[in-house]
Amino acid sequence: MKDNSSKDLRYINLLIHVFASLHALSSLLANLMGYNDEVILTALTISMIVLIATRYSFPLEVTFALALLNCFAGFYLGNLGATMINSIVGLDGILANVLTTFVITEFLGWITYLIVTTKRVQA
């Protein structure tokens, strides 16, 4: 049991960090090339949530609910975070976006992990 949990945690750690990095990279590239990064970021967020939730046998319809909540939270928190970083720290717009995207993805990934592992059924 202990081995499985630590293996799961390693997988989730890797997954969230990789997706946070992919979010940041996509945001950077899209901003540098002058494209809107929303489509790719949303697709990546949905993929991350689906991978985390299916790992813990979450039913698809609840995964759908989680993904939807995460997409909205990601969008609004992302915009809010970027604006705040820009105004408080004075970072460049692109850098602020990239940094916020990374932090918000990590946050949402770990929140999702906490939700799906709460009272997990060991069937």
The contact set with another protein (CB under 8 A) reads 38-39, 42-43, 46-47, 50, 54, 57-69, 71-72, 75, 115, 118-123
CB neighbourhood size of 52 (10 A): 26
Q: State in angstroms the smallest separation of the CB of 89 from another protein.
A: 26
Smallest distance, another protein to C-beta of residue 88, A:
25
The pair of three-digit structure tokens given for residue 79, joined into one six-digit string:
């915009």
With both helix axes pointing from N to C terminus, report the angle between 2-33 and 38-55 in degrees, rounded to the nearest 10.
170
Shortest distance, CB of residue 120 to another protein, whole angstroms? 7
Give 28 or 69: the residue with its C-beta nearer to another protein.
Answer: 69
Residue of 76, 72, 68, 30 whose CA lies nearest to 49: 68
Nearer to another protein, 14 or 68 (CB): 68
Give the shortest CB-28-to-another protein separation in angstroms: 21
Q: Compute CA distances 74 → 68, 69, 79, whole Å.
A: 10, 8, 8
Nearer to another protein (CB atom), residue 90 or residue 119: 119
Nearer to another protein, 67 or 96 (CB): 67
Distances in Å between the alpha carbon of 73 and those of 5, 84, 85? 28, 16, 17
